[in-house]
């Protein structure tokens, strides 16, 4: 592109779609799904209610929720071929890479796979949300040489996830904290992975193809992969007394501090504030309060020195760790929450689609004469 182009690096501030799903007020540090404040949803609603809100535009009444929960529970199975595929993958396969492949395989088996109608997309959203959770846990079990755990129909989505991961029924407190964190991750308008799903959808591709792309985008450490990186930082620091030395080194070497900073939030990420409270309680209850203390001390030190805010991935790290989630499953867990938003955005994009096709600012050589290979 040449004349009059106005490059916006990283598309910062560019409004790329209309959405009814998520109202992100970065200036005032506020977030709402479908008009409901994120704090009310995280504390008082279940992840299932939030997924219903995102897919239907309204919170469900009791009969609607009961039917919806039954639909999600009946979708709690993955094809035998997918388990076989997990067995064939190298043991060292990154869980996010396995998840991306799993979503593609789930697409091969879905009865509505290439049907992009609103109703088919809604059915696929419910199936893929249930199956994604099962696939994450099944892959984890298989790579550890264990059999996948059969889902428990009497457990909610979050509790069943923790159960399928470990084979142990979680405490009510652990299940609630995990359920709330899935809600906090469920939707966040045009973040990189959701935008990826919208770009893929805009070509009239199908839901599984778009979700597989979203998984690939979420994996990176500047996006969902940051949570895992935060935990590695906390483990590297190891003790509260070492925070000061770590911070001095990090500032001196201009190290990128994972879990800090955000493209849109300027006055703080409201999700981080909620997760901080949940992390404090979970770390205390699990006898691992040290990780919360290191996190708080690092937060205060970094914010004071650089003015950086902790984002959603900062306090979710000690929370997930204290819930016994393996560190390399932190990003898949984020995907297990964000699937609600990805699929809702895919439905919204299909329902009012225009191909997303921006331009590039050409900075290469000017026009020049072609030189045949023999003379180069
Ligand atoms: N650590 C150190 N410096 C930072 C950080 C950080 N985490 N974040 C921003 N900065 C500094 C940059 O060095 C840069 O400084 P400079 O202008 O002096 O060069 C300035 O702030 C602007 O940084 P950009 O990277 O241009 O800001 P951008 O809006 O592109 O980045 C991002 C946002 C990617 C989230 C960034 O803050 C970051 O890398 N954070 C760490 C990774 C992370 O936590 N990602 C998760 C985000 S939330 C989510 O996706 C679920």
Q: Ligand 1 centroid vs 244 CA: distance in angstroms?
A: 21
Whole-number pLDDT of residue 1: 61
For residue 254, the ligand 1 atom closest to its alpha carbon is 2
Q: How far is the CA of 258 from the centre of ligand 1 (A)?
A: 8
> Do 81 and 198 lie in a common domain?
yes
Is the same domain home to 132 and 160? Answer: yes
> Which residues constitute the domain of residue 315?
226-322
Q: What angle do CA 355, 358, 363 make, to 5 degrees?
A: 155
Does residue 187's CB lie within 6 angstroms of at least one atom of ligand 1?
Answer: no
User: What is the number of the ligand 1 atom nearest to the C-alpha of 10?
Assistant: 30
CATH number of the domain enclosing 191: 1.10.580.10
Quick: pLDDT tens for 151-172. 999 999 999 999 999 999 999 9
Atom 34 of ligand 1: nearest residue by CA position: 222
Whole-number Å distance between alpha carbons of 185 and 31: 12
Pair (91, 176) in one structural domain: yes
CATH for 252: 1.10.230.10
Identify which of 131, 135, 137 has the alpha carbon closest to the alpha carbon of residue 111: 131
Is 5 within a domain?
no
pLDDT at 267: 84
Residue at 364 is within a domain: no
Nearest CA to ligand 1 atom 4: 256
**Residue 155, in any domain of the structure:** yes
Q: Which residue's CA is minimally distant from atom 26 of ligand 1?
A: 263
257 and 312, same domain (yes or no)? yes
106 and 55 in a single domain? The answer is yes
Instruction: Please indicate, yes or no, whether residues 181 and 292 belong to a single structural domain of this protein.
Output: no
Say if 79 falls within a structural domain: yes
Index of the ligand 1 atom closest to the CA of residue 224: 51
Can you give the pLDDT at residue 266?
Answer: 87
Nearest CA to ligand 1 atom 10: 261
Residue 366 CB neighbours (<10 A): 5
Q: Is residue 160 in some structural domain?
A: yes
Q: What is the pLDDT of residue 11?
A: 96
Spatial distance between the Cα atoms of 295 and 267, rounded to a whole number of angstroms = 19
Q: Considering Cα of 232, then 235, then 236, then 239, what sign does the dihedral take?
A: positive
Closest CA to 198 of 186, 214, 182: 214
Statement to judge: residues 138 and 212 lie in one domain: yes
- Residues serving a catalytic function are 262, 313
Distance from C-alpha of 307 to C-alpha of 355, rounded to nearest angstrom:
39
Overall number of domains in the chain: 2
For residue 192, the ligand 1 atom closest to its alpha carbon is 50
Cβ–ligand 1 distance for 262 under 6 Å, the answer yes
- With a 6 A CB cut-off, is 266 part of the ligand 1 pocket? no
In a domain, 14, yes or no: no
Residue 174 lies in a domain: yes
Residue 312 Cβ inside 6 Å of ligand 1? The answer reads yes
Q: Pick out the chain residues at pLDDT < 70.
A: 1-4
pTM over 0.85: yes
Residue nearest to atom 49 of ligand 1 (CA): 223
Please tell me whether residues 343 and 245 are part of one structural domain: no
47 and 175 fall within a common domain = yes
- pLDDT at 209 (0 to 100): 98
In this structure, the residue with its CA closest to atom 3 of ligand 1 is 256
Residue identified by tokens 């900075």 is 363
* pLDDT score for 5: 72
125 and 241 part of one domain:
no
258 in contact with ligand 1, CB cutoff 6 A: yes
Which two tokens mark 337?
A: 């929450």
**Do 317 and 334 have their domain in common?**
no
Q: Answer yes or no: do 113 and 207 share one domain.
A: yes
Helix 226-237 and helix 243-252: axis angle, to 10°? Answer: 120
263 lines ligand 1 (CB under 6 A): yes
The verdict on residue 13 lying in a domain is no
């Amino acid at each position: 592109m040449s004349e009059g182009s106005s490059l916006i690096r990283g598309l910062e501030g560019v409004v790329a779609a209309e959405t009814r799903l998520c109202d992100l007020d970065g200036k005032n540090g506020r977030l709402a799904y479908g008009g409901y404040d994120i704090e009310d949803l995280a504390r008082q609603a279940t992840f299932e209610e939030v997924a219903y809100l995102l897919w239907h535009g309204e919170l469900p009444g009791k009969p609607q929720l009961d039917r919806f929960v039954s639909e999600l529970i009946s979708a709690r199975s993955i094809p035998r071929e997918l388990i076989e595929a997990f067995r064939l993958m190298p043991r060292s396969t990154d869980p996010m890479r396995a998840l991306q492949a799993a979503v593609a395989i789930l697409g091969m088996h879905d009865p509505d796979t290439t049907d992009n109608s609103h109703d088919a997309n809604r059915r696929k959203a419910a199936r893929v949300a249930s199956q994604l959770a099962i696939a994450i846990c099944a892959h984890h079990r298989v790579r550890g040489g264990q059999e996948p755990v059969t889902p428990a129909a009497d457990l909610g989505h979050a509790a069943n996830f923790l159960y399928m991961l470990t084979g142990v029924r979680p405490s009510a407190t652990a299940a609630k904290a995990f359920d709330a964190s899935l809600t906090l991750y469920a939707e966040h308008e045009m973040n990189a992975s959701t935008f990826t799903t919208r770009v893929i959808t805009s070509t009239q591709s199908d839901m599984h193809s778009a979700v597989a792309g979203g998984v690939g985008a979420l994996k990176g450490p500047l996006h969902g992969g940051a949570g895992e990186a935060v935990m590695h930082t906390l483990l590297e620091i190891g003790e509260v007394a070492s925070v000061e030395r770590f911070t001095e080194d990090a500032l001196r070497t201009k190290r990128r501090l994972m879990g800090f900073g955000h493209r849109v939030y300027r006055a703080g990420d409201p999700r981080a504030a909620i997760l901080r409270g949940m992390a404090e309680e979970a770390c205390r209850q699990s006898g691992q309060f040290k990780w919360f203390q290191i996190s708080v001390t690092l937060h205060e030190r970094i914010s004071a020195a650089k003015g950086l805010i902790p984002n959603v991935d900062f306090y979710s790290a000690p929370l997930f760790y204290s819930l016994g989630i393996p560190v390399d499953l932190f990003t898949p867990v984020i995907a297990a929450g964000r699937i609600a938003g990805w699929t809702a955005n895919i439905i919204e994009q299909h329902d009012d689609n225009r191909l997303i096709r921006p331009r590039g600012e050409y900075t290469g050589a000017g026009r020049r004469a072609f030189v045949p290979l023999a003379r180069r």
